[in-house]
């Protein structure tokens, strides 16, 4: 492991968020996943299937509810950079944060039990923020 970062909505002060902690783990190679899988089992993490090449996700549950996600990816490659850039942009830009708060509230009301639609609807906003962040 090269770096560990608190990411996701709970990492941005004042942002509407589910009570789930998202942690990004930057690794030198995805070959360490086999070893990491064994290490995260002890505190109760299980691997979650994801359809994103180059990313592995593990979840921890308490009383059948997810409490934590570990997002494992190659450090300083596109997935890592995007995750950190999105978080940092919203931390620094109040207008973007307010816009995201409004969008998340709207989507939470529209898709209270449909995580896939909720996430897909956020994608355009996330992509727009990443474009803004790359211009800095």
Does position 122 have pLDDT exceeding 90, yes or no? yes
Quote the CA–CA distance of 84 and 6 in Å, as a whole number: 9
The single residue listed with the structure tokens 């307010």 is 98
Backbone phi and psi for residue 53, each to the nearest 5 degrees, phi listed first? -60, 135
Helix and strand totals (H; E) in the chain: 4, 5
Quote the CA–CA distance of 23 and 134 in Å, as a whole number: 22
Q: DSSP alpha helices (H): ranges in 46-77? A: none
User: Looking at 24-28, 106-110, 115-119, which range is the least confident one?
Assistant: 115-119
pLDDT, one tens digit per residue, over 37-58 is 889 988 999 999 988 889 999 9
Does position 86 have pLDDT exceeding 90, yes or no? yes
Write down the pTM of the prediction. 0.90
Q: What is the pLDDT of residue 125?
A: 96
């Amino acid at each position: 492991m090269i770096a560990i970062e608190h990411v996701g909505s709970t990492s941005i002060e004042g942002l509407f968020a589910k009570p789930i902690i998202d942690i990004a783990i930057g690794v030198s190679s995805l070959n360490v996943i086999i070893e990491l899988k064994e290490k995260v089992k002890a505190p109760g993490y299980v691997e979650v299937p994801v359809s994103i090449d180059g990313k592995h996700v593990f979840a921890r549950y308490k009383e059948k509810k997810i409490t934590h996600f570990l997002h494992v990816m190659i450090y300083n490659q596109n997935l890592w950079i995007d995750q950190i850039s999105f978080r940092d942009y919203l931390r620094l830009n109040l207008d973007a944060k307010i816009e995201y708060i409004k969008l998340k509230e709207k989507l939470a009301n529209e898709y209270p039990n449909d995580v896939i639609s909720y996430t897909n609807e956020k994608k355009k906003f996330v992509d727009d923020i990443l474009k803004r962040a790359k211009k800095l």
